[in-house]
Amino acid sequence: MNDESFVAAVTAMVEAHPSIWPSGDRHPAHCHLYVTKSGIPMATEPQRKTVANIWVRADSVRRNLLRDCEDAYFDHSTFDQSKPNHNLFREPGFKNTDLIRYQPKNLWEAARIIAEVAGIAA
């Protein structure tokens, strides 16, 4: 699976989850915004060519369970310096909260991240 196919597969996994829906009536230009059945926001960047990004609120995951998954932590008080994807902030659930950007290396990691945020079943 090449990088673009992997990015597309991760996005498809998020969109196929029974407890995840698009947030709002359309996605912004450079990310897709979602919300879980329990109101937790999640985002992907499907136009990426080399890496699959899954954005989540830091307080929506048990980070210790995903410690083997590559991630980056963004403190909300330094967003002006760290500059996470600004399109995320269209989603009210991403405003003024710490973020984690996961970069899964395989579909199993992506499935674990998605399940941690949204749950395994509806």
Average pLDDT, the chain: 86
Cβ–Cβ under 8 Å, residues 117 and 36: yes
Q: Do residues 93 and 41 lie in contact, with contact meaning Cβ atoms separated by under 8 Å?
A: yes
Predicted model pTM: 0.87
Domain count, the chain: 1
Cβ-proximal residues to 59 (8 Å cutoff; 6+ apart), any chain: 97, 98
Residue numbers of the domain that contains 62: 3-118
User: pLDDT tens across 37-73, in order?
Assistant: 999 999 999 888 889 999 999 999 998 899 999 999 9
